[in-house]
Amino acid sequence: MSPLLQPPRFWYRPAGWQARLLAPVAEVYGRRVVARMRQPGQRAAVPVVCIGNFTLGGAGKTPLALAVADLLAEAGYKPAFLTRGYGGSETGPLRVMPGAVAAEVGDEALLLARKAPTIVSVDRPAGAALAVSDGATIIVMDDGFQNPSLEKDCSIIAVDGETGIGNGMTFPAGPLRAPLHDQMPFVSAVVVIGPGDAGGRVLDFARGSGLAALQARIVLDPSAPVLRGKRVLAFAGIGRPEKFFKTLADMGAIIAATQVFPDHHPFTENDAMAIASRAQSGRLIPVTTTKDMVRLTGGPARTGLASITRSVPVRLVFEEENSMREFLHRHFRIRK
């Protein structure tokens, strides 16, 4: 999903006239994606775990990648993350070093690099080679499920429990990157994140297809700030900002104002000044996501806003962590 766009609402309603009108274009688009997925890729010197999704837009891939990396590290692997650096100017391959900024490597790369060595590379085989040369014994690739350039040992698909696969149609008629039945042969496991009937239907479909099907949820990190009873200005430039706002409400925060930006939005000095001014005039505490927080760099107004803004760190937990361990054990013979 382009950082300049938000998904249209009709994607998440039963297919209506808009979806039907776009169906011929969607059929052509889907065929092209599937044909590309079937192309052979290069083999890395170590196993590759791909964390992807069926749809455009956010579904929780990065929290899932972090959680999988934790289990692999616990089992004795030395994981490295591989990402294309969406939203950044660098094409790589390069290591994400201390001092890197989101404008160069993308916000997700900065979050991943807090956990394990992270490589940004549009050329995924080249990025994998760099990770191996740095000592990685397994690669966790954030996104790239539909990209065939690097051969995958397993692909774990993140699905949002509330939205699932939307209206079940392919872009631009719906959110799918290709028809679901054409993507399924490339899938090793499906992880539905959060509650919801739409995600439950995908979970049932995955189980019926003989795939590992697991559930997970996003929880507050213990380091999250205490916001109960605090009046806040909540701002976010993520795929589904309403989920962040619900998290704040569940924390007991009083959401006095909100401001929504496109996914991966590169905050400008004017943006920062406007948010800070709005918070100051309303005597509100600016609050944002950790993903947005890493983009508040590069100028005095952004740095000033970051200094008064509280971020809300979250993490992914599996409903049955041993089931994920068992899945990884089957694929990589790791300790259960």
Annotation: binding site: 55-62
The neighbour count for residue 205, using CB atoms within 10 Å, is 17
Residue 204: how many CB atoms within 10 A of its CB? 12
Q: Which amino acids are annotated as binding site for ATP, given as ranges? A: 55-62
- Amino acid letter, 158: A
Quote the distance between the C-alpha of residue 52 and its chain's center.
Answer: 8
CA distance 199 to 55: 13
Cα separation values, 248 from 58, 219, 262, Å: 19, 12, 19
- Listing DSSP states for 193-225 in one string gives ES--HHHHHHHHHHHHTT-EEEEEEEEE-TTPP
Q: Helix 300-308 and helix 269-282: axis angle, to 10°?
A: 40
**Cβ density class 1-28: b for 16+ within 10 Å, e for less:** beeeebbeebbbeebeebbeebeeebee
Q: Residue 199 half-sphere exposure, CB side, CA atoms within 13 Å?
A: 22
